[in-house]
Chain A
Amino acid sequence: MKPSNDDDGGTDSTTGDATDERFDEWTRAETDGGSVSRDPSQSPFDIVSDVEQTRSERYRMVLDSMIVAPGKILWNDWRAKLGFLITFAFVLIGTVGVWYVDRSFADDGEILLRPFETWAHPLGTDSMGRDILSELVHATPAMLEMMFAGALFSMGMAVFWGVFSGYKGGSVDRFMMAVADIMMTIPGLPLVVVLAAILDPSSPWMIGIIVVVNAWAGFARALRSEVLKLRHESYVEASRTIGIAVPAILVKDILPNVMPLIVVNFVTTARNVIMMAVGLYFLGLLPNTGPNWGMMLQTAYGQGGVYRPDLFHWFYAPMVTIVILSLGLLLLGQGLDRIFNPRIRARHAKHTGGGDSDADGEDEESTSNEQYNRGGL
Chain B
Amino acid sequence: MVSTQYFIKRTAMAVVTFFVVISLTFAMIRLMPGGPLDYIQSQMAAAGQAPGEIAAEVERFSSINPQEPLWQQYLTYMANTLQGNLGESMWYNDPVAEILGNAMPWTIFVSIISMILIYLIGISMGAFMAYVEGSRFDVSWSTVSILLTSVPFYVIAVVLLWYLGYNLEWFPTSGHYGRGVEEGFNWEFISSVMHHGALPIASLTLAGFGATALAMRGNAIQILGEDYLRVARLRALSQRRIALRYVARNAVLPMYTSMMISLGSLFGSSIILEQIFQYPGVGYFMYRAISARDYPLMMGTFLFITAGVIIGVYIADLTYGYVDPRAGSGDREAF
The interface residues of chain B, by DSSP majority, are classed as: helix
A323 near B151 with CB under 8 A, answer yes
Q: Give residues of chain B (260-294) contacting chain A, Cβ–Cβ below 8 Å.
A: 261, 264-265, 267-269, 271-272, 275, 286-287, 290-291, 293
Tell me if B152 and A278 are in contact (CB < 8 A).
yes
Point out the residues of chain A lying under 8 angstroms from B225, CB to CB. 347
Contact A279 B275, CB 8 Å, known A186-B21, A327-B146: no
Closest to A174 in B: B331
Cα distance A182–B162 in the bound complex, in angstroms = 39
Task: Using A198-B32, A285-B290 as known contacts, say yes or no to A190 and B302 having CB atoms under 8 A apart.
Answer: yes
Q: Which stretch, A51-59, A99-107, A163-171, A253-261, touches the partner chain B?
A: A163-171
Question: Once the chains bind, are A194 and B298 in contact (CB under 8 Å)?
Answer: yes
Interface flag for B149 (CB, 8 Å): yes
Q: Find chain A residues with CB under 8 A from B293 CB.
A: 197
A206 contacts B by Cβ under 8 Å: no
- Whether A194 and B150, one on each chain, are in contact in the complex, defined by CB atoms closer than 8 angstroms, is no
Closest to A249 in B: B335
- Give the contacts of A310-350 with B (CB-CB under 8 A): 319, 322-323, 326-327, 329-331, 334, 343, 347
CB-CB < 8 A to A172: which residues of B? 334
Interface set, chain B 11-54, CB cutoff 8 A to A: 13, 16-17, 20-21, 24, 28, 32, 35-36
Q: Is B85 an interface position by the 8 A CB rule?
A: no
Task: Identify which of A188, A198, A271 contacts B268 (C-beta below 8 A).
Answer: A188
Closest chain A residue to B146 by CB distance?
Answer: A330
> Is A302 interfacial (CB-CB < 8 Å)?
no
A306 with B158, Cβ < 8 A, contacts A167-B335, A181-B17, A193-B271 known: yes
> Known: A187-B265, A187-B306, A283-B272. Contact between A173 and B332, CB under 8 A?
yes
**Does chain B have a CB within 8 A of A228?**
yes
B155 in contact with A319 (CB, 8 Å)? yes
Instruction: Give the residue name and chain of the B residue nearest to A187 (CB).
Output: B268
A193-B155 in contact given A168-B335, A185-B309 (Cβ < 8 Å): no
Q: Which residues of A contact B287 (CB under 8 A)?
A: 283, 285
Nearest residue (CB) in B for A166 is B332
User: 8 Å CB contacts to B: which residues of A217-237?
Assistant: 218, 228, 231
Total interface residues on A, CB under 8 Å, equals 53
The 8 Å CB contact of A326, one of B17, B151, B299, is B151
Question: Which of chain B's residues has its CB closest to A167's CB?
Answer: B335
Q: CA separation between A352 and B13, bound complex, in Å? A: 49
| B100–chain A nearest beta-carbon distance, Å | 12
Q: How many chain-B residues does the 8 Å CB contact rule pick out?
A: 54
Query: Which A residues touch B290, using CB under 8 A?
Result: 193, 197, 285
Q: Which residues of A contact B302 (CB under 8 A)?
A: 190-191, 194
Q: Which residues of A contact B306 (CB under 8 A)?
A: 185-187, 190-191
Query: By CB atoms of chain B within 10 A, which of A198, A326, A331, A334 has the most?
Result: A198
A322 touches B152 (CB 8 A): yes
The CA of A252 and the CA of B299, in the complex, are separated in Å by: 45
Beyond A181-B13, A193-B286, A194-B28, is A322–B272 a contact (Cβ under 8 Å)? no
Q: A189 is contacted by which of B146, B271, B333 (Cβ under 8 Å)?
A: B271
State which residues 160-174 of B face A: CB under 8 Å. Answer: 161-162, 166-167
Task: Tell me which residues from 177 to 205 in chain A have a Cβ below 8 Å from any Cβ of chain B.
Answer: 178, 181-182, 184-191, 193-195, 197-199
Which residues of A are found within 8 Å of B333, using beta-carbon distances? 169-170
Contact B265 A188, beta carbon cutoff 8 Å: yes
Instruction: Tell me, in angstroms, the Cα distance from A259 to B8 when the chains sit together.
Output: 36
Most chain B Cβ neighbours within 10 Å, of A184, A186, A231, A322: A186
Contact at B265–A189, with CB atoms within 8 Å? yes
**A346 to B116 Cα, complex, angstroms:** 34
Query: Which chain B residues lie closer than 8 Å to A148 at the CB level?
Result: none
Does A98 sit within 8 A of B, measured CB to CB?
no
Closest to B263 in A: A187
12 cross-chain CB contacts under 8 A: A170-B332, A170-B334, A171-B334, A172-B334, A185-B310, A185-B313, A189-B265, A189-B269, A191-B302, A199-B32, A271-B150, A327-B146
Which 5 pairs of residues, A with B, have the shortest CB-CB distance? A170-B334, A189-B268, A327-B150, A187-B268, A306-B162
* Given A188-B268, A283-B272; 11 other pairs, CB 8 A cutoff: A173-B334, A185-B306, A186-B306, A189-B271, A190-B305, A195-B28, A198-B32, A283-B271, A284-B291, A285-B287, A323-B150
| A residues in contact (CB < 8 Å) with B | 79, 167-173, 178, 181-182, 184-191, 193-195, 197-199, 218, 228, 231, 240, 246, 271, 275, 278-279, 282-285, 301, 306-307, 319, 322-323, 326-327, 329-331, 334, 343, 347, 351
| Residues of B in contact with A (beta carbons under 8 Å apart) | 13, 16-17, 20-21, 24, 28, 32, 35-36, 134, 146-147, 149-152, 154-155, 158, 161-162, 166-167, 221-222, 225, 261, 264-265, 267-269, 271-272, 275, 286-287, 290-291, 293, 298-299, 301-302, 305-306, 309-310, 313, 332-335
